[in-house]
Amino acid sequence: MSQTPISPSPSLQGRVTLIILAGALVLSAAMGTRQTFGLFINPFSYDRGVPVTLVAFAIALHNLVWGFAQPFAGAMADRHGPAPVVAFGALVFAAGLAMAALAPSGVWLVIGLGVLVGLGISCTTFGVVLPAVSRAVTPERRTMAMGLVSAGGSLGQVALVPVAQGLRQTYGVSTSLFVLALVLCCAAPLGLFMTMRSRRKTTDAVPTSVPVAAAKHDEHATQAHTSLRDVLRQACAHRGYRLLTLGFFTCGFQLAFIATHLPGYLLMCHLPVGLGATALALIGLFNMVGSWACGWLGGHYRQHHVLGWLYLVRGAAIAFFFVLPKSDASVVIFAAVMGLTWLGTVPLTSGLVAKVFGTQHLGTLFGVCFMSHQIGSFLGAWLGGFVLDVTGSYNLIWAATAILGAVAAALHFPIDDASVVPSLREPATARA
């Protein structure tokens, strides 16, 4: 006997909307604050006498701490829900910013901006927020939903970068950092909305009028007996997962270098003082479109192919910007192109992990993959300052950043995206 398809109830649609909104706001607070760090390198160096290399190391260290803490934060969110993880992370993030604002020496700056911020941001960004969203939507809408959350999260970069720049110029570094810490404190309770809605039982997603057989399509239920250890072993042995993890290194390297050092690089090119903040804000603005577009593309085309083309476009944009003459117009164009390709990798990468391995342990598996991203972020942020101190220019890093785009594309195109979860495997013809 055939069954009539049942549309999601308005209450269920409202739950999903609330999850997306809460996730976007948490990402806005965390990622928007993080994108302001490049504005503080010169003030910390010139006003407080902290060497550029040490400031760059503190910013780089938070990326490394974030990367190594992300699998654990994701695992805690998988087990206990995002509410306690987001609350803890937001408060630790705020404490790190406050410590950096009051830091009497470079050591305290490294502890605050490096260690505490790294721990906090691991609990308030993609590895915790996106798995909560992915479990709330159907597989065919998953990449789009994660792209929408990532796009909404860019609102923080658009709003907070100019605010931080204005506060820094008017009231100083300390006041600017304290205001950003307050923003993080306001985001602390938002995980409650994701917990209440996303950690639902299977019966919540399947109306009682639907035959029990329909519950087979709830992938979280089908994986209920798969242990984390088995999933991690399976992922480590999966060639596509290894390639995806290696390719994600490039994304971290490129984004951290540009976000950290672009404002200072533009000053070296004798461009206006405020242009760096404008460029970062434009990256965030265009990232709203780019993240949504990448989410849409990932729902209609094979995600690893979209990732490959994204890395090629980003690498080409970096190469052209590096070799062509610098002007206000070229900076604006570069920021727009970078924004379109900025964080679109995140919904595509997490969506691909979910497609292959399911969602039960998505926070942990994406966290392991994201560790590679953050090792790249550490090197991109730190090597930028190191190479500048040693050679007096950023030329070597710009060249490496462009070349890595081609390397990442070559790693992504051959990925096998077939699901390893038996109930989720698609016929070969469906994947053509």
Provide DSSP, 177-227.
HHHHHHHHHHHGGGHHHHHHHHS--HHHHS-TTS-GGGGGG-HHHHTTT--
- Distance of alpha carbon 109 from alpha carbon 50, whole angstroms: 9
CA 322 – CA 299 distance, rounded (Å)? 33
Supply the pLDDT for residue 226. Answer: 64
Handedness of CA 154, 64, 145, 314 (dihedral sign): positive
Position 5 scores a pLDDT of: 44
Predicted pLDDT of residue 4: 44
pTM of the predicted model, to two decimals?
A: 0.71
pLDDT score for 13: 74
The secondary structure of 378-405 as a DSSP string is HHHHHHHHHHHHHHSSSHHHHHHHHHHH
40 token code pair: 């503080």
d(CA 137, CA 348): 15
- Tokens representing 339 are 């924004």
Instruction: Report the pLDDT value the prediction gives residue 398, as an integer from 0 to 100.
Output: 94
How deeply is 406 buried, as exposed, middle or buried, from its count of CB atoms within 10 A (0-12, 13-18, 19+)? Answer: middle
In angstroms, the CA 178 to CA 112 distance is 13
Residue identified by tokens 């594309």 is 409
3-class DSSP assignment, residue 297:
helix
| Burial (CB count <10 Å: 0-12, 13-18, 19+), residue 398 | buried
pLDDT tens series, the chain, 432 aa: 444 444 555 666 778 788 888 888 998 899 889 888 878 877 877 777 777 778 878 888 888 898 889 888 888 888 888 899 999 999 999 999 999 988 877 788 899 999 999 999 999 988 888 888 877 777 777 777 877 787 777 787 778 888 888 888 888 888 999 999 999 999 999 988 886 443 444 333 333 333 333 333 444 444 445 677 777 888 888 898 999 999 999 999 999 899 888 988 898 888 987 888 888 888 888 988 888 888 888 888 899 999 999 999 999 999 999 999 999 999 999 999 999 998 888 888 888 888 888 877 777 888 888 889 888 988 888 888 888 888 888 999 999 999 999 999 999 999 988 887 765 454 444 444
CB contact at 8 A, 103 and 137: no
Task: Work out the burial of residue 267: count CB atoms within 10 Å of its CB; fewer than 13 is exposed, 13-18 middle, 19 or more buried.
Answer: middle
In contact, 369 and 241? CB cutoff 8 Å = yes
Integer CA distances (angstroms), 265 to 106, 257, 285, 326, 423, in order: 23, 11, 21, 11, 51
pLDDT the model gives residue 403: 95
Cβ burial, residue 284 (10 Å; 0-12/13-18/19+):
buried
Query: Which value, to the nearest 10 degrees, does the dihedral of the CA atoms of residues 361, 367, 373, 376 take?
Result: -140
Q: Angle between the 328-341 and 303-323 helix axes, to the nearest 10 degrees? A: 170
Residue count of the chain, please give it. Answer: 432
How does pLDDT run across 112-161, given as a tens digit for each residue? 999 999 999 999 988 888 888 877 777 777 777 877 787 777 787 778 88
Alpha-carbon dihedral of residues 125, 128, 130, 134, nearest 10 degrees?
-170
pLDDT for the residue 329: 92
User: What contacts 274, CB < 8 A, 6 or more positions away?
Assistant: 165
Q: What is the pLDDT of residue 30?
A: 92
User: What confidence score (pLDDT) does residue 84 get?
Assistant: 93
233-289 pLDDT tens trace: 888 888 989 999 999 999 999 998 998 889 888 988 889 878 888 888 888 889 888
* Four-residue CA torsion sign, 315, 317, 322, 328: negative
Q: How far apart are CA 66 and CA 375, in angstroms?
A: 9
Separation CA 300–CA 103 (nearest Å): 49
Amino acid letter for position 152: G
**Residue-level pLDDT at 298:** 84
- Number of helical H runs and strand E runs in the chain: 21, 0
Residue whose entry in the numeric block shows the structure tokens 């727009």: 336
DSSP-assigned letter for residue 430 = G
Buried b (16+ CB within 10 A) or exposed e, 8-27: eeeebeebbebbbbbbbbbb
Sequence-ordered list of residues with C-beta below 8 angstroms from that of 118, at least 6 positions apart, any chain: 61, 62, 63, 64, 65, 66, 69, 96
For the chain, the farthest-separated pair of C-alpha atoms sits apart, in whole angstroms, at 77
Give CA–CA dist 145/295, Å, rounded. Answer: 7
Q: What is the dihedral of CA 239, 242, 246, 248, to 10 degrees?
A: 110
Q: Can you read off the two tokens belonging to residue 420?
A: 């390893």
Distance of alpha carbon 356 from alpha carbon 338, whole angstroms: 28
